[in-house]
Amino acid sequence: MRNFLRRAVHGTPADLGHPHQRAADAQCPDGAAGHEDGAPGAPPAPDILPEPALRRAAAEFVRLHHGEAGLGDPAPRVAQVFAEIAEGGTYRHTPEELAFGARLAWRNAARCIGRLYWHSLRVIDHRELTGADDVAAASAEHLREAVRDRGRIRPVITVFAPDAPGRPGPRIWNEQLIRYAGYERPGGGVTGDPRNVGITALARHLGWPGGPGSPFDVLPLVIQGTDDKPRWFRLPPDAVLEVPIEHPEHPALAGLELRWHAVPAMACMCLEIGGVCYPAAPFNGWYMGTEIGARNLADSDRYDLLPRVAELLGLDTGSDRSLWKDRALVELNRAVLHSFDRAGVTMTDHHTESRRFLTHLGREESKGRTVGADWSWIVPPLSGSATPVFHRTYDTVERHPAYVHHPEALARTRGESGDALV
């Protein structure tokens, strides 16, 4: 989801998706393991704002909610929140505040091109859940819910317990709920996704036996409950919808046996609302084709497939001046769009989404709201100058509520542990 990412500290994930399957049992994913002696990752210390800063952030959020929702005088609610903070060092959002804050965090995401439908985000309130087993089961159900309507992906966020004084909320170590393993080969190189070598090694350390060893083995979830060590949980097959990639005119491409998962569900970002941090709040939208075709499958530090695609197409790769990379990139993106359409799975293209973003700008400006946007993320990684978002500048202001990448969370996505997590 290039769409949701607010601030990346270490690298820039390509597939960050638009928030936009089916009913199945909600039992805990099988294969839970962990708690082995010496498992990395002491429980993280909650990062709580000092009381004056928390009061300011809370009051600003409550006033914003009351103003936009037409709830009248916010003073009584502000006073109630201040009393909760004075007594316990934090406060609890109402269900309405939680939903409003999660949706505004999407609307405020400066690096998201797909914000036109921010108001449609479905918010699942699981703030009562703190244990790894429960978080794993609810995360699997989140993936089912996202595609419950036969491949028509809906935007969903599941919010687990927040950080509180003396009690950290749960953490999901994975960058996304669905990621493919990266296995380092003894002679060098990686089978699978090189981006995920670290988290794959950590899962193996925790006891995951690994998958079949294909380039597209689904990683288990690595989850750390409150006052717990990280543990691994296998995602049930019915929670993972995947699309095989084939080309509409070049059947040889199917011989590469490519596929990609349908739901880009970010899992490592903190949802910050009114000074309260929800460290486990996975959210999803739908993919824009270029996230898969121009980044995940094409980047030289990811699957690096352009040379193989060019070979299948019979292109002259002897010189960059033949533009073989450009031609292979276009055909790979055509294959991705064709395959998702053929499977009936929601996906947008970069031309359509660029026009939708300008529609979003117009709607927000008509309401007197300035839209923050990062040009380098809004402009697609393919044919940027052919899209309307290329030919203008944007205000890069960042606002709250927000989805935030904390450095220690990014360290966890790389499988790092120990002092780096505290």
Confirm if 235 and 249 have CB atoms less than 8 A apart: no
Is 232 catalytic? The answer is no
Which among 286, 331, 334, 412 is annotated as catalytic?
286
* Greatest pairwise CA separation for the chain in angstroms: 71
Give strand pairing partners of 184: 190
Is 28 catalytic? The answer is no
Is 286 catalytic? The answer is yes
Q: Between β-strands 287-288 and 259-261, what pairing exists: parallel, antiparallel or unpaired?
A: unpaired
Q: How far is CA 156 from CA 24, 32, 123, 326, in A?
A: 17, 25, 6, 35
* C-alpha to C-alpha distance for 291 and 382, rounded to whole angstroms: 10
Q: Which of 82, 121, 299, 101 is nearest to 194 (CA)?
A: 299
- Verify cis geometry, omega within 30 degrees of 0, for the bond prior to 401: yes
Q: Between β-strands 156-159 and 122-125, what pairing exists: parallel, antiparallel or unpaired?
A: parallel
Which among 141, 145, 272, 291 is annotated as catalytic?
291
* C-alpha to C-alpha distance for 105 and 101, rounded to whole angstroms: 6
Give me the residue label for tokens 């960042």: 398
Is 56 catalytic? The answer is no
Which among 112, 268, 270, 277 is annotated as catalytic?
112
In three-state secondary structure terms, 301 is coil
Which among 6, 77, 111, 115 is annotated as catalytic?
115
List, by residue number, the catalytic residues: 112, 115, 286, 291
